[in-house]
Structure 1
Amino acid sequence: MIIVDLLSIILRLAEMAFAAIVAGINGHYLHTLRHVDSRQLWRFIFTEAVAGLSILLAIVWLIPFSGSFIHWPADFVISVAWFVAFGLLVDWLDDNCGYIFDWGGISLDGTVSCTRWKTTIAFSFLSALCWLASTILGIYWVHRRRRTARVDGAYRRRRWYRSRI
């Protein structure tokens, strides 16, 4: 099970890093448009909220203990939220910067806003995939744990409020 724990730590670090990148780029954009009506910025506010929640949960669940695997339903919800944010950002870009997956002509000088938006979209998608992988890993861990908890051919279930001792 050490491989599962190591993979979980790697996924949590990736989730935290990707969410921080999205939060930084998106937060800079929101800061530059701080005097604009919030009804026009709702998709960016949603993306920023998902990024902030992702950073918080990734930090909390980064601690490697078995309880971090039972949060797979929350991992799935965050993954869906990231996919929604990805879709909202892709819909907003709407061919203003060319085809969404056309990475030709992207420069690293930081002056091109299309570069920032395509970066935000890419890391939103990668974050959604990492959260989905954490969901699958959590489901695998829970079902494997239930299979190994057999006693005399029957499952012995422990209540969530009782300790192992």
Structure 2
Amino acid sequence: MILADLFSMILRLAELAFAAIVAGLNGEYLHAVRNADSWQLGRHIYTEVLAGLSILLAIIWLFPFSGSFIHWPADFVISVAWFVAFGLLVDWLNGSCGYVFDWDGINFNGTASCSQWKATIAFAFLSAICWLASAILGIYWVRRHTAPVDGAYYRRRRWYRSTV
């Protein structure tokens, strides 16, 4: 199952990178509007907290131990939370920068308000997909390593381990 471990590490690195990008872009916006009412910034604060939690969990679960696969329920919950953040940010943008996934005419000249928000939304979506893929990989790994026997589940022995 070295392939599953490798794929899991790649997903965790992608989750870490995407969460860091969202945290940076969203944090820059929160810093720019630091005197605004916190109720108006609720969706951005939610996204920032979610990005911080994702960074923490991705670092903790980055190491390729078999125990990292049993966290698939948490991966699924975080994936749903990222999809919620994606929806909240798309709703906040509300077509003011054009269609959300229309990347024509984006420039990087330093005043990148629309470009910044489209990048934040895109990386939030990519993060949600990576967390969902981690959950699916975890479900696959857990199902593969436990099998029903007389209504009970047991952990399969490795072929090189003796029962003596």
Structure 2 equivalent of residue 157 of structure 1: 154
Unpaired runs of 5+ residues, structure 2, are 156-164
Aligned residues, how many?
A: 157
Deviations 1:36-92 (A, max 9, x none): 110110000000011000000000000110110000000000000000000000000
Confirm or deny that 1:2 pairs with 2:14.
Answer: no
Q: What is the Cα-based RMSD across aligned positions, in Å?
A: 1.9
- State the alpha-carbon separation in 1 of the partners of residues 109 and 117 from structure 2: 14
Is the contact made by 1:110 and 1:116 (CA closer than 8 Å) also made in structure 2?
no
- CA offsets, 1:95-126, max 9 Å, x none? 10011111000112231200000000000000
Q: What does residue 161 of structure 2 align with?
A: none
In 1, Cα distance between equivalents of 2:67 and 2:8: 12
Query: Which runs of at least 4 in structure 1 moved beyond 6 Å after TM superposition?
Result: none
Report the counterpart of residue 42 of structure 1 in structure 2: 42
Q: Does 1:112 align with 2:109?
A: no
Contact 1:75 1:135 in 2 (8 A): yes
Separation of aligned partners in 1, 2:151 and 2:42: 52
Return the TM-score normalized by structure 1: 0.90
Per the alignment, in what secondary structure is the counterpart of residue 157 of structure 1? strand
- Specify whether residues 88 and 154 from structure 1 end up closer, same or farther in structure 2 by C-alpha distance, changes over 3 A only: closer
The DSSP-based 3-state class of the residue aligned with 1:30 is helix
Local SS of the residue matching 1:103: coil
Q: In the alignment, which residue of structure 2 is the partner of 1:145?
A: 145
Counterpart of 2:27 in structure 1 is: 27
**In the alignment, is residue 13 of structure 1 matched against residue 10 of structure 2?**
no
Separation in structure 2 between the aligned mates of residue 87 and residue 50 of structure 1, nearest angstrom: 14
Q: Aligned partners of 1:109 and 1:126: how far apart in 2?
A: 24
The question of 1:98 aligning with 2:95 is answered no
**1:155: how far off?**
5.4
